[in-house]
Amino acid sequence: MRAPTLLDARGGAEDGSAALFAALDLGTNNCRLLIGAPTRGGFRVVDSFSRIVRLGEGLARTGALSQAAMDRTVEALAMCADRLTRRRVYRVAAVATEACRRAANGVPFLRRVEEETGLRPRIISPREEAELAMESCAPLLAPDDRRAILFDIGGGSTEIAWIRAGVQPELIGYASIPLGVVTLAERVGEDCFSANGFAEVAAEVEARLAEFERLHCIRHEIARGGVRLIGTSGTVTTLAGVVLDLPRYRRQLVDGLSLPAERADEALARLFAMGRAGLSAHPCVGPERADFVLPGCAVYAAIRRLWPVPELTVADRGLREGMLMRLIRGASRR
């Protein structure tokens, strides 16, 4: 990869153009890149890339990343590296999450990634995942929010963050359970298309989160009011797309949308009734994600039942946005 362009005292590149920052999130199911230019209080998206790579395919069964999955992922990462070389990027942050954390060959795979693409993703902890998600979603908090539950239904795991709201949101606690849309689809995917199977998955998720509820007494806080439920994942953005009857997915209509919980429940019921063929044909799902939607919905159903907040705030943002904000803030202090 070409060396990053240096900033000058004005915060731009050596030729006076705006400096760019890039964040790459290598997950269990997706490879995502975001390139942004700093603006007052945030950033402007210059370029983005997202590809379903299914890096964690078969991981729950074998404990290792498969050769085919690694090859697919390296191909996508090479495309990301190419975009970075064509942009004047000042600094890049790249992270890997659950699949590389769990896989016996996760570290050797990342060495291969560096050798073949020049990218150096580092494996982050569930806590850092929660912190990055909190940072990206903090602008969605309202002045009268006391607390927030932030959940991210990923490919290999589901992350929960319990947040104290305020001028500087604070992470009170976090939980990570090894149930994501890929792991569930491989283990019980067919079952999620039946009412009993769907209910069993939701019950398993709820049981795994019960200790977190006992520790933090979140239901008690919900009863007091001022608790916001924020979801950042393909599951909740799909629910929003169905509620809005979008003919095609549009991020600007979804990100930050607050849905009455009953409307989200109705959308979940509509998705369940479609079956695999209907999900494959739906403009907000498609054939690549058809097998993952109902497992994700089962996780959401468990969260909704355990923590009955009257509204769901939908966030089409996550680790990449949190990383970009950190990079830009760090550069401004230099």
- The whole-angstrom separation of Cα 226 and Cα 244 is 26
Q: Which of 211, 271, 275, 200 is nearest to 236 (CA)?
A: 271
| The pLDDT value given to residue 2 | 32
DSSP letter at 4?
Answer: P
Beta bridge partners of 44: 37
What's the burial of 213, exposed, middle or buried (CB within 10 Å: 0-12/13-18/19+)? middle
| The pLDDT value given to residue 9 | 27
Amino acid letter, residue 190: E
**Residues in contact with 175: Cβ distance below 8 Å, sequence separation at least 6, in sequence order:** 126, 159, 160, 209, 212
Antiparallel, parallel or unpaired: β 20-26 and 89-96? parallel
Amino acid letter, residue 332: S
Indicate the Cα dihedral angle 292, 295, 299, 300, nearest 10°: 60
- The whole-angstrom separation of Cα 325 and Cα 91 is 12
pTM score of the predicted model: 0.90
| The pLDDT value given to residue 17 | 56
**Locus of tokens 């979140």:** 218
**Locus of tokens 């390139």:** 35
What's the burial of 291, exposed, middle or buried (CB within 10 Å: 0-12/13-18/19+)? buried
- Averaged pLDDT, groups of 10, the chain, 334 residues long: 31 58 96 94 91 94 96 98 91 96 97 97 94 94 97 95 95 96 91 95 97 97 97 95 94 95 97 95 93 96 97 95 92 73
Tens-place pLDDT, residues 30-62: 999 999 999 987 899 999 999 999 999 999 899
**Locus of tokens 């993952």:** 292
Tens-place pLDDT, residues 189-215: 789 999 999 999 999 999 999 999 999
Q: What is the end-to-end Cα distance of the chain in Å, rounded?
A: 24
Beta strand ranges found along 87-211 (DSSP E): 89-96, 122-123, 147-153, 158-164, 170-177
